[in-house]
Amino acid sequence: MEPSSPESKETRPPGGTPEPQRQPPAAFVGMGSLIGIGAAIGLIFGLMLDNLVWGLIVGAAIGTVVGAVVEANRRQ
């Protein structure tokens, strides 16, 4: 039986199956979903401020910027 190499990312407990590698949350959230989340948060703030359209615009803009940053960091 060969010893496992140190660069292996999976760890095997004795007599068990390998543990799955953990993914960062940014791996599951794309730019489109961040735009939607930003618009939803902007919708809530727009309802509180009695200006629904402005809240949607600001929320979508913030979601676009955050989504672009997440995508740029993911590709590096």
Residue 5 has pLDDT above 70, yes or no: no
List, for residues 34-64, the tens digit of each pLDDT value. 788 888 888 888 888 888 888 888 888 888 8
Residue 14 has pLDDT above 70, yes or no: no
CB 11 within 8 A of CB 19: yes
Which pair of structure tokens corresponds to residue 70? 């997440």
Neighbours of 36 (CB within 10 A): 15
- Percent of the chain at pLDDT exceeding 90: 0
Q: Which pTM value belongs to this model?
A: 0.56
